[in-house]
Structure 1
Amino acid sequence: MEQKIRILIVEDEEKILQVLEAYLKKEGYEVRTATDGTKALAIFKTEEIHLLILDLMLPEMSGEEVCKQIRGFSTIPILMLTARTEEDDKLTGLAIGADDYVTKPFSPREIVGRVKALLRRSYREYKPLAEQLQYNDRELEVDINRVEVRVKGKLVNFTPNEFRLLTVFLSHPGQVFTREQLVQKVFGFDYDGFDRTIDTHIKNIRQKIERDPKNPIYIQTIYGMGYKFGGAK
């Protein structure tokens, strides 16, 4: 990207906010800050934001609600900050549209590393995954060049990770992928999340593209092995 990367940090703890802002500015990023969800959404309406760092425990409007609202009109990468350590809480964050998460307490250097990894994954070209790939069976239409997914002609909003995961399947129809293989292809070797992250993203994709998500025809589960793209029947 030619323009400077602009990051929005939404965090109500001033000390954390100031430290993250300083570290990210030192890396050359433009930084905007907000201490609550209402201010964050207002910034989105007036400025182009390329990545969001979002605390879940915000006053008034929760971080989860902010994430849901932003996902209604934007696919920018979202890094969640949370004091919750339970796996189900992390999966909930991913389910509502976050791309990655970090639990408190954390090192500012860790945040910088996660930000760089998210930006690489989110703004790299899609062509290495599937050269000029398009899929259209009249019900599901995927255009890699435009980064668009349509179901029955209606544009469907996908997060960056969901879109990358779908393109992996489309570029290898019929091939069975283990969770570990999908983590490597979608997130890269620097991602230290857990395998259930893939299950969460696949569940979200099925909700968006399948006629019956409980009996999927596109992304099929191969028990004891992983997942594959089956295509329309």
Structure 2
Amino acid sequence: MPNRRSGLSVLIVDNDPVLLTWAQANLPATGTDIVFASSIGAAKRLLLKFAANAVVIDVDLSLADGGSFTRRLREQGTNIIVSGKDDLYQKAQFHDVIADDYLSKPFSVAEFEIRIARFCGDQQRLPLGLGRDRAQFDRWHFDARSLQLTSADRIERLTTAEAHILSRFLHSPNRIFSREQLQLRELWQEPSAFERSIDTLVSRIRKKIEADPRAPALIKTIYGAGYLFDCEVLWNVQPTQESDGTNDSEPSQ
């Protein structure tokens, strides 16, 4: 039986029998509840009954369905760690594989512990399946279902593309996103157009959420790198709870 001292749950998706045998023998000692799947189909079935704080998936399996499985998990707030061998970073960059971290094989038990603690232990993200559809940041409440922003005196509606960008920021505050990482392929069929589109979308979001869009305090431009969302985010907070300071919300850091 897995040791549950950490209270964290991790799904490892890999079809390498050597790695799976090693992981099954060694990783439960980290105190993390771990389950294994050898295919995306098996992973989907497991996630129907297993709430995962993080998914560690082999880069080739991630690409097997065009990356849609990992993209969907990240949009739902699950930490994604992509694993692979020597060409991991080149392959991930070439295929635009977006993840919270990358773990080169072979990895040690200590390295696995550090990565999981870094992305789950401190951030305390909600496990997949519990839902993260309402966020509070600064003076705003964001409802991902209605694509609506609400403050004490304003209501703003977002387009699907704007909501996609804002959700990326809200799920990973204080992280630098390049324009490529903010790209939604379904919206930009021409590669030459997406950078201008990202800048336009960020500008439109700033006009809706910033006190002064000309001097943005929330979405900051990191010159030569991309954008960073600089604000604490609380999840699943009802707008009526904004002023009482007592709620069971979950932070992203």
Structure number with greater Rg is: 2
Over 3 Å counting, the alpha-carbon distance change for 1:152 and 1:161 in structure 2 is closer
Please give the alpha-carbon distance, in whole angstroms, between the structure 2 residues aligned to 1:17 and 1:34: 9
**1:163 pairs with 2:170:** yes
Please give the alpha-carbon distance, in whole angstroms, between the structure 1 residues aligned to 2:102 and 2:164: 21
The TM-score, its normalising length taken from structure 1, stands at 0.58
Please give the alpha-carbon distance, in whole angstroms, between the structure 1 residues aligned to 2:150 and 2:20: 39
Q: Give CA deviations for 1:152-197 in whole Å, capped at 9, x if unaligned.
A: 59994679974265x54xxxxxxxxxxxxxxxxx4xxxxxxxxxxx
Over 3 Å counting, the alpha-carbon distance change for 1:67 and 1:119 in structure 2 is same
Q: CA deviation at 1:220?
A: 6.0
Q: CA deviation at 1:62?
A: 5.1
**CA RMSD in angstroms, aligned pairs only:** 4.5
Corresponding residue SS for 1:53: strand
Aligned to 1:106: 107
Corresponding residue SS for 2:60: coil
Over 3 Å counting, the alpha-carbon distance change for 1:5 and 1:83 in structure 2 is same
Aligned to 1:4: 7
Query: Identity of aligned pairs, percent?
Result: 20
Q: How many residues align?
A: 184
Please give the alpha-carbon distance, in whole angstroms, between the structure 1 residues aligned to 2:62 and 2:222: 43
Structure 2 gap segments, 5+ residues each: 127-135, 152-156, 188-194, 207-218, 230-253
Please give the alpha-carbon distance, in whole angstroms, between the structure 2 residues aligned to 1:55 and 1:154: 29
Structure 1 gap segments, 5+ residues each: 126-130, 144-149, 169-185, 187-197
The TM-score, its normalising length taken from structure 2, stands at 0.54
Aligned to 2:149: 141
Q: Give CA deviations for 1:94-131 in whole Å, capped at 9, x if unaligned.
A: x5441100122322321221111111343179xxxxx9
Corresponding residue SS for 1:106: coil
Aligned to 1:28: 31
CA contact (8 A) 1:99 1:161 kept: no
The letter of the residue matching 1:19 is W
Greater displacement, 210-219 / 77-86: 210-219
- Higher relative contact order, chain-length normalized (CA < 8 Å, sep 6+): 2
